[in-house]
Amino acid sequence: MANKVATREAYGEFLVTEGAVNENLVVLDADLSGSTKTNGFAKAFPDRFFNAGIAEQNLIGMATGLAMSGKTVCASTFAMFASGRAFEIIRNSVGYTGANVKVCATHAGITVGEDGASHQTFEDIALMRTIPGMTVVSPCDSESAKLLLKQVVDMNGPAYVRLGRAAVPVFYDETAKLELGKGHQLRPGKDITVIANGIMVPSAMEAASEMAEQGIDVRVIDMHTIKPIDEEIIIKAAKETGKIVTAEEHSVIGGLGSAVSEVVTREYPVKIKMVGQHDTFGESGKPDELREKYGMTAKDIVKAVKELY
Amino acid sequence: MIREKIEYYEKIAQSVRIDVIKAVYNAGSGHPGGSLSAADLLTALYFGEMNIDPENPDMEGRDKFVLSKGHAVPGQYAVLAERGYYPVEDMMSLRKLGSPFQGHGNCHKVSGIEMSTGSLGQGVSVAVGMAIANKLDKSDSRIYTLLGDGELQEGLVWEAAMAASHNKLDNFCAMIDWNGLQIDGKNEDVMRVAPIAEKFEAFGFHTVEIDGHNFEEIFGALDEARATKGRPTAIIAKTIKGKGVSFMEDRAGWHGKAPDMKQAKEAVEELGGEW
């Protein structure tokens, strides 16, 4: 696999590039600008960067006020605190008004690693996608992060973008054709479909290659946008392959697996197996060790595919 | 301030109170107590202080007001109606299915409402963001917000206060409707918020303590806020919950309860209105 870059690094680069051409862009952080990578923007455009300090509720409140005054606002902190602590502000001030606030949250999921359970959020996608009008995005690598962030910033209205701490393989290149709200089929397949997002996308491709050797033809879809979800591509997969495995670095309660199930049960019921965090807290450890222990690797996708097939 | 001018504002504030009683009575629920305590403050803002235009509610460069104590929105609806944003009759659909006059204000449904509020602590935080935006845009327009005293128990208020002073938002003025009561009783018994002025001072605000039912003092404080440079101002306005309706005054029970017809009639008549 090619070189590795964290999606948060891509976010930092995106902000500097976008900030140069979009004078309306304002960025807020909550004392984590070195970690969320908003520090590049802060250095390049100090007048348009505001630090809320360790105050995530006010981070989102101020972001709303700026957005209500016509600014495009990216507000960043760790995913745990953005989606958890500030949930109700995002719901009532951002969501209810449809404010043009992009919550770009980093350090999501188990790959936060050593910081442990208090910082490993598996609930953010579930929380964010219950808010009416909220666009929810989970890119799998640095290139897709940049492509999707551009579309998120160009659209009007609230969005949540889930970004990671750990360096992950660069999977796409800048010519990739990714469209917000549209699942991206990475590999055709007729026997079973794996719908993945975030760091589970390369794992899904790895699993599909392994399955191909065993004569199982796996379709793989990168479902980078969880809301609005691409119903068409899901229904097509259910009809054509009859079985679906979902894979996400998130709780199987309320995340991608749930979102896919909601469509499938309504439109074309087929069996689904979900790879993800199974209703438990994490712990300290290296990202790869944790993925192994909590069942979010290519091997786990292979296992789920075999169980269903 | 000349006496006739004071009488002009007092008359409007009484009309606002009458509208509140009628609307809350029609709705069968709502928050009269805090709407009545804030009526004079709201009247001063919308009729004397703010640069606004009811004919052009989205006017560029206008001053903005965010009702952080969102439950007092009947008071805001009434003052907007009296100021000419829409006819008073419109707000009589308060809280009814399909009405734009929601139980807590929605900025997309009613002209003149700058921010949807209701969940305490959020309005002031959003208002701070608006004040930052004005600074970025090098605009002279000012941002006002009104908080309840019980609302000061929300941690977010102090996160926002810290940010207002850190960013030297002298275009930002927070008013506190200090009626001393909240749903479960007196602030003193539920969770002490006093001393309020000292708290805001400590957070870097210029503070003014006034009688929130005295227009001379209200306008004096607003003038002082405008003249204060380099830091935000907090106006701590001592008020009486349920002000103007003797059976509601200083009673926590009227925080979120509608009068029945007899009570509403009595209240309107006491306020000098016609039932």
Spell out which residues of chain A touch residue B155, defining contact as CB-CB under 8 Å.
57
Domain spans of chain B, in order of start: 6-270
B-chain residues near A67 (CB < 8 A): 129
What pLDDT, on a 0 to 100 scale, did the predictor assign at position B264?
A: 97
Residue A174: band (very low, low, confident or very high) from pLDDT cuts 50, 70, 90: confident
Distance from CA of B233 to the nearest CA of A (A): 18
What pTM was computed for the model? 0.97
Q: Yes or no: say if A230 and A181 are a contact pair by the CB < 8 Å rule.
A: yes
For residues A276 and A197, give the distance between their C-alpha atoms in angstroms, rounded to a whole number: 11
Segment A86-115 mean pLDDT? 97
pLDDT of residue A18: 98
pLDDT of residue B34: 95
- What pLDDT, on a 0 to 100 scale, did the predictor assign at position B266? 97
Q: What are the pLDDT digits (tens) for B228-266?
A: 999 999 999 999 999 999 999 999 999 999 999 999 999
Chain B: closest CA distance from residue A64 (Å): 6
The span from the CA of A152 to the CA of A148, in Å, is 6
Backbone phi, psi, residue A242, to 5°: 75, -10
A75 CB-near residues (< 8 Å, 6+ apart): A27, A28, A29, A59, A60, A63, A82, A101, A102, A103, A104
Confidence category of residue A111, pLDDT binned at 50, 70, 90: very high
Please confirm whether the linkage preceding A287 is cis (ω < 30° from 0).
no
- The string of pLDDT tens digits covering residues A129-147 is 999 999 999 999 999 999 9
pLDDT tens by residue, A206-237: 999 999 999 999 999 999 999 999 999 999 99
Over the stretch B144-170, which tens digit does the pLDDT of each residue have?
999 999 999 999 999 999 999 999 999
Q: What is the pLDDT of residues B14-23, one digit of tens each?
A: 999 999 999 9
Q: For residue range B167-187, what is the model confidence (pLDDT) as tens digits? A: 999 999 999 999 999 999 999
Cβ atoms of B178 and B236 closer than 8 Å: yes
d(CA A89, CA A83): 10
pLDDT level of residue B213 (50, 70, 90 thresholds): very high
pLDDT band, residue A2 (cuts 50/70/90): low
Stretch B135-150: mean pLDDT, rounded? 98
Residue A237 in tokens: 């997969």
Q: Which of B183, B191, B231 is nearest to B207 (CA)?
A: B231
Interface test with A, best of B108, B109, B159 (most A CBs within 10 A): B159
B232 preceded by a cis bond (ω within 30 of 0): no
Nearest to B126 among A48, A55, A64 (CB): A64
Beta strands in chain A (DSSP E): 4-5, 25-29, 49-51, 72-76, 101-105, 135-137, 159-162, 168-169, 184-187, 192-196, 218-222, 225-227, 243-251, 271-277
Contact between chains at A65 and B133 (C-beta distance less than 8 A): yes
Which CATH superfamily groups domain B6-270?
A: Thiamin diphosphate (ThDP)-binding fold, Pyr/PP domains (3.40.50.970)
Task: Kindly report the number of other CB atoms within 10 A of residue A139's CB atom.
Answer: 31
| B75-131 confidence digits (pLDDT tens) | 999 999 999 999 999 999 999 999 999 999 999 999 999 999 999 999 999 999 999
Angle at A91 between CA A19 and CA A224, to 5 degrees: 60
pLDDT at A184 over 80: yes
**pLDDT tens digits for range B215-231:** 999 999 999 999 999 99
Structural Rg of chain A based on CA atoms: 18
**What single DSSP character describes residue B72?**
G
Sort A192 into a burial class: Cβ within 10 Å, 0-12 / 13-18 / 19+. buried
Cβ of A57 within 8 Å of Cβ of B162? The answer is no
Q: Which member of A18, A56, A143, A206 is catalytic? A: A56
Tell me if chain B has a CB within 8 Å of the CB of A270.
Answer: no
Chain A positions in Cβ-Cβ contact with residue B133 (cut-off 8 Å): 26, 65-66, 68-71
Retrieve residue B168's tokens: 């030297």
Which residues in chain A touch residue B128, judged by CB atoms under 8 angstroms apart? 58, 61-62, 65
The mean pLDDT value for A8-37 works out to 98
Q: How far apart are CA A5 and CA A167, in angstroms?
A: 4
Q: Is A168 a residue whose pLDDT tops 60? A: yes
CA separation for the pair B130, A50 (Å, rounded): 13
Distance (Å) from the C-alpha of residue B120 to the closest C-alpha of chain A?
10
Interface A-B, measured as beta-carbon pairs within 8 A, has a size of 103
Spatial neighbors of B1 by CB under 8 A, at least 6 apart, are B215, B216, B219
The pLDDT assigned to B2 comes to: 80
Residue in A57, A70, A96 closest to B125 by CB: A57
Cα B9 from Cα B16, distance rounded (Å): 10
Inter-chain residue contact B133 with A61, CB threshold 8 Å: no
**Is B122 in contact with A58 (Cβ distance < 8 A)?**
no
Q: Cα distance from A85 to chain B (closest Cα, Å)?
A: 11
- Residue A179 is among the residues annotated as catalytic for this protein: no
Please say whether the beta carbons of B79 and B67 come within 8 A: no
- B58 contacts in A (CB within 8 Å)? none
Q: What is the predicted pLDDT for the residue at B112? A: 98
